[in-house]
Structure 1
């Protein structure tokens, strides 16, 4: 079966008026195996809104995962979502690529706590 990556606009819930541009991708082989994509999101006026890293990989310990990380225009980490299986397994589980994309959306992602509430930082 030919590998079909997700429709990133669906996963990131990119507004119709925005444009998602791929900056590149990287793949690697054993002992870690996977691929990572890099995207920039621009609003209707052409201003950078967000940057994304999306990954589908198996780490050195054999743990599988796929997910994404979102950064704001200034490069600050904003949200992430990850599932503990490879993209192809998620597609099989959801019985469609569209179902897998929806599973990766995770409304709102996992927000980064404000600096005052992060463990180890003084208020």
Structure 2
């Protein structure tokens, strides 16, 4: 199942005056498969506002998942959301737009303690 990655600006709800820049991508193959994208958000004055990690993986436990984490400019985890499906499976079961909406829903920092690092 091949599928283009999500529209990151949509997932993270980037404001119109801000810009999102790619900061790279990492992948791993084998039984524990995964892809991770890294982004940086800048405001209209070119100040770093946030860093993002977005992932699409099958963990060591065999469970599929995709999600994202937002870190503020100091590196503190502030938001995150995870769905128990790979991105391509999510798009296949919903429309692409509905899949992006499902992936948008953030958890506040108090709920992030249960997210794996």
TM over 0.5: yes
Report the structure number with the largest CA radius of gyration.
1
Spell out, residue by residue over 1:32-56, the C-alpha distance to the aligned partner (whole angstroms, 9 max, x if none).
1010000000001110111000000
Greater than 6 Å deviation, 4+ residue runs: none
Residue of structure 1 equivalent to 2:23: 23
Between 1:79-88 and 1:97-106, the stretch displaced more is 97-106
C-alpha root-mean-square deviation of aligned residues, in Å? 1.3
Residue of structure 2 equivalent to 1:104: 103
TM-score normalized with structure 1 length: 0.86
TM-score normalized with structure 2 length: 0.90
Q: Is the 8 A contact 2:57 2:64 kept in 1?
A: yes
Give the drift of 1:2.
Answer: 4.2
Unmatched runs of 5 consecutive residues or more in structure 1: 119-123
Paired residues, number: 111
Unmatched runs of 5 consecutive residues or more in structure 2: none
Give the drift of 1:93.
Answer: 1.5
